């Protein structure tokens, strides 16, 4: 498996992989293009034999920044500094290949750490579609801990209850 930065040529395949995993909640090409244009270092793809097998999109947030889609955040522990926010993490194995999926996550964390991030925080819906595949355990096995909850608003008319998982990158 090879991990590399995404390019505009990858976007169609990334959309296909994400929509297969998450259906209507999967990313659009327009969203991925916007993310790629704003912060190209934050889009990584994993590929095997030239085919995309997964990808992650992350952004860098300052200590007191909160993504617009977060509301009603209740944290057991505050966020300590600049942080990485994985907005999309999708693999064809849907969390079943922990070793390969972890390599993708660790590559993103390495970039975030080099950009001054001291933490990574990821929201996971309480009824995550891959909970039976070990989605929560995947993040825990990679050093993340549940530090509270948020309401995530994927669109203006919908709210999803999420846990917020955090890992210290230092």
- What is the tens place of the pLDDT at every residue in 69-114? 676 666 666 778 899 999 999 999 999 999 999 999 999 999 999 9
Residue 64: band (very low, low, confident or very high) from pLDDT cuts 50, 70, 90: confident
Q: Which helix (H) or strand (E) holds 105?
A: helix 98-114
d(CA 138, CA 136): 5
Mean pLDDT of the chain: 91
> Global pTM?
0.91
* Residue 18 CB coordination number (10 Å): 22
Task: Give the span between the Cα atoms of 170 and 153, in whole angstroms.
Answer: 30
Q: CA-to-CA distance for 76 and 92, rounded, in angstroms?
A: 33
CATH number for the domain whose boundaries are 2-168: 3.40.630.30
Q: What does the domain layout of the chain look like in residue ranges?
A: 2-168
Q: Could you give the percent of the chain with pLDDT greater than 90?
A: 77
Instruction: Give residue 74's pLDDT.
Output: 67
């Amino acid at each position: 498996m090879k991990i590399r930065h995404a390019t505009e040529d990858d976007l169609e395949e990334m959309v296909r992989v994400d929509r297969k995993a998450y259906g209507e909640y999967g990313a659009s090409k327009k969203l991925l293009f916007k993310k790629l244009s704003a912060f190209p270092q934050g889009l990584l793809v994993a590929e095997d034999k030239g085919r995309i097998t997964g990808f992650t999109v992350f952004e860098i947030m300052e200590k007191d920044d909160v993504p617009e889609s977060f509301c009603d955040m209740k944290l057991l522990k505050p966020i300590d500094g600049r942080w990485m926010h994985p907005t999309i993490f999708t693999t064809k194995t849907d969390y079943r290949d922990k070793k390969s999926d972890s390599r993708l996550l660790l590559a993103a964390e390495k970039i975030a750490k080099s950009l001054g991030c001291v933490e990574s925080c990821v929201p996971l819906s309480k009824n995550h579609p891959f909970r039976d595949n070990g989605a929560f355990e995947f993040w825990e096995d990679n050093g993340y801990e549940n530090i509270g909850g948020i309401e995530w608003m994927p669109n203006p008319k919908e709210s999803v209850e999420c846990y917020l998982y955090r890992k210290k990158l230092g």
